[in-house]
Chain A
Amino acid sequence: MKEKYTSHSEEETMRIAATLAAELHGGEVVLLEGELGAGKSVFVRGLAHALGVTHRMPSPTFVLMRVYGMKQTENREQRTKNRIPTPSHSPSRREEEKRKCSMSTSHSFAQSLRYFIHVDAYRVNDAQELDAIGLREWLGREDAIVAIEWGERVAPTLRDIRIIQVLLSIGRTAEMRSIHIVR
């Protein structure tokens, strides 16, 4: 499946990332490809933000990998709800609507998502180096989403893992980006 978007601003790129975030269940690896300045980091921030990462997200170029915990408020609410069946009076319906709302906008509704892993493979010679920094243990974990910039470098080694490719390229104006999402 392939989707094509055109973004006209960083904010729009982040919104496009949020629509992808809403479809993630956990265990996926998002590979970002595109030249310097194409907007890979902006897309990753959009993704992470939509999944509930509230932390500042500096570039992982230096340390290669950064692990973020996700804000669990939304999810915890749901878990409690699942465990304790609530009687069907009006506040609950309001809650339900609120949840539906958040589904369509920014928050993750995957219950088990707890970690967001931001990786930069720019300086990685071969994917085994990412094993040395401990990436392997995050790949395919159901409670984690992994986003890898310069993902084409490690793609061949990711067998048996759900991969979503995000290809970014610079458009006709300084702000324009075309974004292809392939899964």
Chain B
Amino acid sequence: MGEKQTIRVLGIESSCDETAAAIVHVARTRDRGRWRYAFDVRSNVVASQVKTHAKYGGVVPEIAARAHVEAIIPVIDEAVGLRKFDAVAVTSGPGLVTSLAVGVETARTIAFARQLPVIGVNHIEGHILSALLKPGREEQGTGNRRQETQHVPMSHVSYPMFPTVCLVVSGGHTELLLMRGWGKYELIGATRDDAVGEAFDKVAKLLGLGYPGGPIVSQRAAQGDAAAFDLPRPMMDSDDFDFSFSGLKTAVRYMISPPPARRGRVRGGRARAVISERNRIVNNTTPSHSPCGARGEPSEAEGGEQVGTPKRRKEVSDICASFQQAAVDVLVAKTVRAAREFGAKAVLLGGGVAANTQLRHQLGNALQQEIPAITYHLSTINYCGDNAAMIAAAGGVRLLSGQQTPWKRLDVNPNWELGR
């Protein structure tokens, strides 16, 4: 083993609706001709705007930018405390340009004022490396969300064996990447329309369940029967690694509200019951199909539980379960196939939707069955959502290999695609 190099990185993330900062110590050693990295998360603070945006049914750019401006300094203060850092890493894309700018400008200022190296990090690379972070000596969340987790020594960190297939799934992304080495990515597939998390959000909206859709839909799915409704598995058998979730959302829409002519002869009373629940939900909370009508109306955050008999609630749960299963089936099938085709030694799962229990378990089971020798790394739940620890980790890897972004040239790159 060669000499160990360590860098202490301040990570900053503000690409969507979370303002986050973290200090991560990244160490690398040379072992049998290969670089190995170890990540020690010293602090990890996330201020979420989910509640702010819930009433709008999604992230509102202007409000998000303003909230980032208010949160960023307190969040960085809390993450840094008395800790020292040698460099700054910031998400510079992809994301919402107005949100990204807040983090990037802050990072630039810190780097300039303290004469430290800075690097712009791709958000997706952060999500990939989040699968390699172990719950560390960290404080999670701010205010009432604070919790201490037990510190795990750096030596316990496991390393991916290359090539690695990475599945990144969130509200804005559904991507399969091939990682041939540290920092070497190749985009092998992506969604052609909606991201899978976006599909969860839209289905939740169609069912009147509120925002964000992921946790609500999977919570309802847990009480439902995944085989109750027959939904399509879009592009599951296509010979590429692309995804499509827009059609799945439309299929759900038909299940709850068939077009006028068919409305009279839907099969059985089952779907009709769902329609009537939906109509009531629509009448109560989302006054029209047009989002203009829904905008500004508080959504029913607790999943529309206040309406419907137990039987009708069961049907909504069945739709959620059937939808979730359809989405998970496609993600699992394509990931396993990619792993086999590229001879992957490991699979990484990251991103907000990686918190979905069914996806975590079913991908793990499928890999174990089909490719028993493969290693499966998945983000721990608190690193699935957007956070800055993953950005500090990704930045640290690049900084240790000699890369940095001159502070003058650091800029937002809202459409930055990793691996293209």
Residues in chain A within 8 A of chain B (CB atoms): 35-37, 41-42, 45, 56-59, 61-67, 122-125, 128-129, 132-134, 150, 152-153, 170-174, 176
Contacts and interface: CB of A to CB of B under 8 A. Distances in A.
A36 B245 CA distance: 13
A65 B97 CA distance: 9
Contact of B198 (A59, A67, A128, A170): A59
B98 interface: yes
Given A62-B16, A63-B97, A125-B60, A36 B205 contact: yes
Nearest to A67: B415
A132 B98 contact: yes
Nearest to B249: A37
A36 B289 contact: yes
A174 B173 CA distance: 27
Given A59-B246, A62-B96, A171-B259, A132 B61 contact: yes
Interface residues of B, number: 46
Interface stretch (B105-113, B189-197, B339-347): B189-197
B206 A36 contact: yes
Contacts of B56: 123, 125
A133 B206 contact: no
Contact of B259 (A63, A124, A172): A172
Contacts of B98: 132-133
Given A63-B96, A66-B415, A122-B58, A58 B191 contact: yes
B261 interface: yes
A61 B262 CA distance: 31
B60 A37 contact: no
A124 B98 CA distance: 13
Contacts of A123: 56-61
Given A37-B250, A134-B97, A62 B61 contact: no
A171 B263 CA distance: 12
Given A58-B195, A59-B194, A153-B292, A64 B96 contact: yes
* Top-4 shortest CB links A-B: A62-B172, A37-B250, A172-B261, A35-B289
Given A132-B62, A150-B291, A176-B259, 20 more contacts: A36-B206, A41-B194, A56-B190, A56-B242, A58-B190, A59-B193, A61-B194, A62-B16, A62-B95, A64-B96, A65-B414, A66-B415, A67-B415, A125-B60, A129-B62, A132-B61, A132-B98, A133-B414, A172-B262, A174-B262
A148 to B, nearest CB: 14
Contact of A63 (B63, B258, B415): B415
Interface in B48-68: 56-63, 65
Contacts of B194: 41, 58-59, 61
Nearest to B291: A122
B192 A57 contact: yes
A64 B61 contact: yes
A73 to B, nearest CB: 20
Among B173, B194, B249, the one with the most A-chain Cβ atoms within 10 Å of its Cβ is B194
A58 B192 contact: yes
Contact of A37 (B95, B191, B253): B253
B202 interface: yes
Nearest to A126: B62
Contacts of B289: 35-36
A45 B392 CA distance: 36
A144 to B, nearest CB: 15
Contacts of A129: 60-62
B211 to A, nearest CB: 11
Contacts of A133: 61, 96-98, 414
A61 B96 contact: no
A152 B58 CA distance: 18
B282 to A, nearest CB: 12
Nearest to A39: B250
